[in-house]
Structures are given as structure tokens and as C-alpha cells.
Chain A
Amino acid sequence: MLSRVAERVYWMARYVERAENTARMVTAFNLLSLDMPKSVQVSWKGLVEVTGNEGLFDNHYQRDDERNCVKFLLADADNPSSVLNSLQAARENVRTTRDLVPSEAWEVMNELYLFARDHIDQGIGKRGRFEFLSEVVQRCQTLTGLLAGTMSHDAAYDFIRLGRNLERADMSTRHVDVGALKLLKKDGEDPDPYEGLLWTSILRSGSGFQMYRQHVKRRINGVDVVRFLLQDTAFPRSVTHTLTQVQDALEKLPRNELPLRLVIQARRHASSAHVEELIAEDGLHAFMDVLQRDIGDIHGANVETWFRIAPVQTQTQAA
């Protein structure tokens, strides 16, 4: 399989996942903002921070109000991770690998992008936001399902799984991080009366609310939510589960030593963390930072191993 093609399907999966995750996150936060009493201000800027693009946001916007934040996350042309840009990049990657992916997948992808482009105002405005975002999430899921159900599970598909799960792992660490930053710095103070709502919202961002209820069966609280999102082995968006998936995909690919070593390390790191201690010692944010760097390193190893093969290597190749 050509490196270029592998790289394109990998990014296609990452971008689709990114669009879906962003749409889910905005949906959850939107619900939260509706639940909060008028006296409590929810910080939409927090969402921008989750994506790690707050610098870019500050360069382009004066006010971090709801409209600007949502516009930035969904539609902004300058935000490379906005839903619209992600979908456009995903579409371009599918289009240039059309020989490889099932033709239905191209059609779904193309229509998804066109839908998002044509209805983006609905997503920015308050009234149509929920419908718009659900539609995006649903269509992303359609695409993922279509690929799982109609594409041969060969190397190309392994690169798709690799990209999807790495992106998911990254997003889950960010969800936990936002909780760490916003909610846990209240040492000694009364627990915020709305903390439960906020953690619920974080669970919803990763569509984990229902699964959490089924598996944890306890009052929503920070420690359990972090543990669930970080270490649950069954929930498909927990960091541990996604990294297991990454490992699984990597094991099927050739010359996988470096990325495989890194992912095993990262997974062990995530699953062996003492969440209670981390929270008590105010170390959760720093921990998530390291984990995010681990994930970045796995990506870097993928690029180095498969996508950017330097010509110098001809020296060591048998002709």
C-alpha cells in the first residue's frame, strides 16, 4: 500500500472523528447552558480551550461570548479544527482515495460536507443548533459504519481505525482536562452546587452519560467520571479503550515497532493512574498533559514510520 494513500485514509478518519467529537461537545455544552440558572455564567470559552486553539481564537475575536465561540468551533475558516474545515479536509482525503474506499462512502462524505456547508448558519444560531449538530453526528456515524461494514478490513482499514481511535483518545484526554481545570481547583471551598451538572455535561460530550450510569451506578462525581473516561475498558471513548484499539490496529501493520512500543507505554500510563491521588494532589492537569504528549508522539511515530519515508533509506534497501 502506498504511503500517500495510507496517510490520506488515516487523516480522513481523524478529521471525521474530530468533526463528530466537536459536534457532540457543542451539543452537550449547549444543553448544559440551558440547564444552568441565569445567575450562573457558563464559559463557552472553555470549549475553545478544550480544542487547544484558544490562541487562534484570541487573535480573531474580541469577545468570548457564545456566538463567537460556537462560530469558531463550527464554522471558522481560520480554525483548522472547526467542524466545517475538518469535514472539508476529510472529504478531500476521501476524494483522493476514491479508488480504495467504497463508492457509497464517498457519496456519504460528499453529502455530509455539502450539508454542513449549506446549513452552517443553523448551527451557529441558537434555534436550529441541536438539529444541525445531531445531523452531523449521525452522518459521521453513518460513514464510520459504512466503512466498517463494506470495506475490506485490510491495511487501509487499519489506518482508518488507527486515525479514528487516536483522535478519539486525544479528545477524551481533553474532556477530562477541562474538568480538571474548571472544576477541581476548589480546594477547601464548598463544592460547587452545579458540579454534578458540569460533570454530566462532560460525560455527554463524549456521549458517555448513559454508559456511565449503567456501569458506574453511583452519583456523578469527579473521581468516578475521570476514572470512567480514562480507564474504563469497555466504553469505546475512554482513553484506555481507544488506545487498546490503536494498539490492535498497529499490531496488524508492517514495521510497527516504534509506534507499537509508544502506544503500549501510553496505555499502561493511562490505566495505571491513581485518579483519586491525582485529584487530591492537584496533579490531574499535569497528568493529562503528559498523556496528550504521549498521543502526539504516537502520531509522530506513525508519520515517521509510514508516511514520510526518506529517500536516504534506499541505501539500506536491497534492490
Chain B
Amino acid sequence: MAIDWKRYDPAPFYDELIEKPGKPRGPGKALAEYLASLDEGEIHSRKQSADNAILEMGISFTVYTEGENIDRAWPFDIIPRVIARKEWDQVSAGLEQRLNALNLFIDDIYNEQRIFQDKVIPRYVLNQSKNFREQCIGIKPPQGVWAHICGTDLVRDGSGQFYVLEDNLRVPSGVSYMLENRQVTKRVFPEMFESSSILPVDEYPTQLFDMLASISPRPQDYPEIAVLTPGIYNSAYFEHSFLAQRMGAELVEGADLVVGDDDCVYMRTIDGLERVDVIYRRIDDEFLDPEVFNPDSMLGVPGLMRAWRQGNVGLANAPGAGVADDKVMYAYVPDIIRYYLDQEPIIPNVPTYLCVNEKDRAYVLDHLDELVVKPANESGGYGMLVGPHATKKQRAEFAQLIKKDPRNYIAQPTLDLSVAPTLCGDEIEPRHLDLRPFILQGVRTDVTAGGLTRVAMRKGSLVVNSSQGGGSKDTWIVDEEN
């Protein structure tokens, strides 16, 4: 049966495409009408062609614990998510503002620490941060930029307002899927790209390359750029290899690199040792350099920090950049923006309770059934409690965890995450989603047009991580005036 938007009711949630049954939102009107014009067979054949494209293009992600079959096809929903360009321009400016401020903040932390002296943020926040690296104190990377590549998670609440859920300043992943989703969608709905003005996303690899080249210690030459991956067993290996290919960079593992007595980084090639200028590292700080961090790391490169400190190699993101993305620091980002830029934040934070504050903690413990509780330093949706969905026992366990280590926990109200029409079996149903745009900061700042939309494929679920059964959609920024 064809799609009938009159029978599609997203209530009580904000829907990205359909305002209320039978009424599409402005920027998505063309898409909604187009979808409604397709009969059931046609929708299925589009779905089939998307599945084929994904297999054919080898778009996969890796699941850790599956032994032999470690690659899985990328879960993809064919119905795009649409955002108006006018609205996006605002969001984009907000993302730029935010990363700008965060980089000033990180540079301050590792140098003057004015923000603590001025008591905008209590110093304990830094002392307890797991991602603060004292080895980075006193270092001044080019342009004062530490987080060159940022993946910021945005959500909308019931009113349609965008909020920043978290900043990912260490090794954010997902951008390759944003690019591949667009490729797949172009195959599935080519007509739509002719009739609507959808902003392109595919300059990203070029922008990434230019940004990386801009931090090369030898700017006059052709820089040798390498993507440093933990290897084939990493869940984001597909992306590492994809980005290296698209940039024409070398995909290297730690053992391929060696730091010479001259404190320069070289890679082992069949032509001998070749100097590397910039490393886009996709290995966590702790594993980067066994001389400085985890001595047991087999993934890293001994001496890498030495080379970086001497300014002989560019590292993106800089080690220690993660200090600004833990969930306690997050609560202070609006203050950080005001402090460094003297501006009001363009995109608001989700209200956040810091369990270390007595008042906040009492509130959190009292309202565990309505809140989402997160550890300050985990990513990937691990180790969190979604209060309304948790059992009494799970809530009691979390109450204990919070009391034992209050600094490690924050809580936020469960937002009524927005939904969008999603093909679920034979039906179109609303599913919750978020959005991860990617921001690049070097000499200039670039924001992707849209980003990676992740969907919780299970009904009612709010967990969008692909490692936990999430899917994704193409994201269209549509220019209605064009």
C-alpha cells in the first residue's frame, strides 16, 4: 500500500517531515509528496536498490565481539531527513561558535589557565577529568587549535528546538557514513536531486585534506599526510580506510611509523623511510605513544609526542583535546562561550545536573525515573541509565554508583527526541533520531551541510548508536528559496 500521510501520526513528538497527519513541513513537502506518489512495490524496489548499493559499495561497520564475521552491512533507512537551509545556517553558525570557544578553552587549559583563575569553572572539574593530559602542558599547536575535527551530537526536543547533546573532540567517527548515505540516496531517489535544491556534502574529504595540510610543519612542500588506524579490528576501520582513500593519504598502523633521532616521524615504505608531516590519528590518546602514555600500547608510535612537541609533525586531533568533551565540562560550555567570545551561545545545551553539586545530586537521586544518567567519560552509549526505561533494580544500582563517585555522573532530563518517518518492514513509522554534524577547524572553519542522522530503529528506543542497533538516514539541507 502506498504511503498515506493522513494515516501517519507522530504525536506526541516533533516530527522532522510531517507536522501533523496529512501536513508535511515546508522544506519536506516535495519529498513527502514524492513518497506518497510511489506505490508499495516501488518503495520496496527502492529499498532493495539501497540494500544492493550498500553491499556493492562495501559500506560496512565492524562489531567487536563477533569473531569471524566482523563486518556488517551498514543499516540504512531510505527516507531522508529534511532540514531547511535557513534553519541550518543558524545551527551551523552555532557549531562554529562552539568549536571556536572550545579550542580557546583547551589552549587556555594547557597554557595560562585563565578560566580557573577567573573562577568561571571550578578547578576540580579539571582535576577529575580523565582526558586531561598533563604531558600536553605548555604546548602551542599551530593556530592554537587542538580539536581540528569535531563531531557534535544534536537533538531536537518536542518543540523542534535543537540542543547540543555532546561534543566529540577525540576521534569522532561517522563522517564516511554521511558521505556514503548521500551516494546511496542519489541512486535511490535521483529524481529528487533534480527537482529540489539539496546542498551537497561531498567536499568534506577535500576540506579535511586542506585542514590537515594547513597544520603541516613544512607548509612549502607537498605534505605527506597519514591516517593512523588501530587496524582492521577497530569498529571504525571502514571509515579510516575510506577517508585515507578519498584524501589520497596513506593509511598507516603504529608499526608503520618510526620516530628518528632527529625527532621527525617516518613511515616504513619499500622506498625506505619517508617523512610524515601530518597524522590524522584515529587512536585514542592513551595508546598514541608508549613512551609517554600507556607503555603497553602496541598500537602507537614510540616518540610521537616528542616529535609533536618539537613541532615536527602535525597531530589531529591534538592529544589532550578530549579534556573539553567530558560530560561535566559540557555543563560549562555556555559559560565557556561567554567567557572567551563574549557572545551568547547560539545553540543551547541540554539542562545538565552535575551530581558532584549537592543540590543537583539530591534532585537526581529523587528523580532517577525521569532522568538520563551518564558517566562523565564514556562514549558510544555505554554505561548509561535511561531512567524511564530502567527497572527499579537498575535505578537502585545507579543510585549507589552516583553516591560512590558523584563527580563521575551527570544527569539530564529525558528529552522528547524528535522523530522522522522510517521504513519499518512494510509500514512507515515514526522513529527517534539525532544528528551529528562535523566541524573542521584549521586556518578556517567548515561545517558539513547536515551531518550523519542516526535513527533508533526499534520502536520507542532512544539509543541511536550503530554498535547498539541504530540505523541512519541521509540528511538533506534544502534551500527553499532556490
Contact = CB atoms under 8 A, between A and B. Distances in A.
Contacts of B241: 98-99
Given A2-B267, A99-B245, A319-B262, A313 B272 contact: yes
B256 A4 contact: yes
Nearest to B245: A99
A175 interface: no
A3 B251 CA distance: 12
B272 A4 contact: no
Contact of A314 (B232, B256, B262): B262
Interface in A292-319: 306, 309, 311, 313-315, 317, 319
B252 A2 contact: yes
Interface in B249-272: 250-253, 255-256, 258-262, 264, 266-272
B420 to A, nearest CB: 33
B60 to A, nearest CB: 11
A313 B273 contact: yes
Nearest to A310: B258
A307 to B, nearest CB: 8
Contacts of B262: 314, 319
B58 A155 contact: no
B273 A2 contact: no
A254 B275 contact: no
B273 A314 contact: yes
A319 B264 contact: yes
Contacts of A6: 270
A2 B257 CA distance: 10
Given A103-B58, A311-B260, A314-B266, A4 B273 contact: no
B270 A253 contact: yes
Interface in A98-140: 98-99, 103
A1 interface: yes
A137 to B, nearest CB: 25
A237 interface: no
Contacts of B264: 314, 319
Contact of B232 (A1, A95, A155): A95
A12 to B, nearest CB: 14
A306 B259 CA distance: 18
A1 B231 CA distance: 17
A315 B262 CA distance: 8
Interface residues of B, number: 27
A96 interface: yes
B275 A3 contact: no
B253 A155 contact: no
Interface residues of A, number: 22
A182 interface: no
Nearest to B242: A99
Contacts of B255: 4
A96 to B, nearest CB: 5
Contacts of B256: 2-4
A261 interface: no
A315 B261 contact: yes
B117 to A, nearest CB: 41
Contacts of A313: 272-273
A255 interface: yes
Contact of B269 (A3, A98, A99, A315): A3
A317 B258 CA distance: 13
A4 B258 contact: no
Contacts of A319: 260, 262, 264, 275
Contacts of A309: 258, 268, 272-273
B265 to A, nearest CB: 10
A3 B270 contact: yes
B270 A254 contact: yes
B267 A254 contact: no
B260 A2 contact: no
A255 to B, nearest CB: 7
Given A313-B273, A314-B273, A317-B273, A4 B260 contact: no
A294 B339 CA distance: 72
B268 A99 contact: no
Interface in A195-243: none
Interface of B: 58, 231-232, 241, 244-245, 250-253, 255-256, 258-262, 264, 266-273, 275
11 contacts: A2-B252, A2-B267, A4-B256, A95-B232, A254-B271, A254-B272, A309-B268, A314-B258, A314-B261, A314-B264, A315-B261
Given A2-B250, A314-B264, A319-B262, 19 more contacts: A1-B270, A1-B271, A2-B252, A2-B268, A2-B269, A2-B270, A3-B256, A3-B270, A95-B232, A98-B232, A99-B245, A99-B251, A254-B270, A254-B271, A254-B272, A311-B259, A311-B260, A314-B261, A315-B260
The 10 closest A-B pairs by CB, nearest first: A314-B260, A3-B268, A311-B258, A309-B268, A306-B270, A254-B271, A99-B241, A1-B270, A6-B270, A317-B273
